[in-house]
Amino acid sequence: MRRSIDDHPFDATLDPVVADDPDLAPVSWAIAISDDYDDSEPRIVLTVDEMGKPGEGLVAHLLPAEARRIRMALRDALKEIGEDPG
């Protein structure tokens, strides 16, 4: 089983700072779930691709505890910059 959950292609109009800086790579990301592993355990699949280079990015296959750790880190980072962590 593999199911797409969400994705976000980079939009230069939403972040022109990244779009105009040659030292920053605009990326798209996607989240999916999959259980196509030898142990049949479901994992969260995080894919990050540089724009214009589909299929050349990184794919992280995360166990639930790893996905929760990333969720907590994102929450903490949002708090740190004064944003509502949701």
Question: What pLDDT, in 10s, does the model give residues 11-66?
Answer: 999 999 999 999 999 999 999 999 999 998 999 999 999 988 888 999 999 999 99
Query: What pLDDT, on a 0 to 100 scale, did the predictor assign at position 81?
Result: 97
Q: How many CB atoms lie within 10 A of CB 43?
A: 19
Model pTM score? 0.84
Return the structure tokens found at 76: 């903490």
81 vs 86: which has the higher pLDDT: 81
Query: What pLDDT, on a 0 to 100 scale, did the predictor assign at position 38?
Result: 93
Query: What pLDDT, on a 0 to 100 scale, did the predictor assign at position 41?
Result: 93
Q: Contact 21/29 with Cβ under 8 angstroms?
A: no
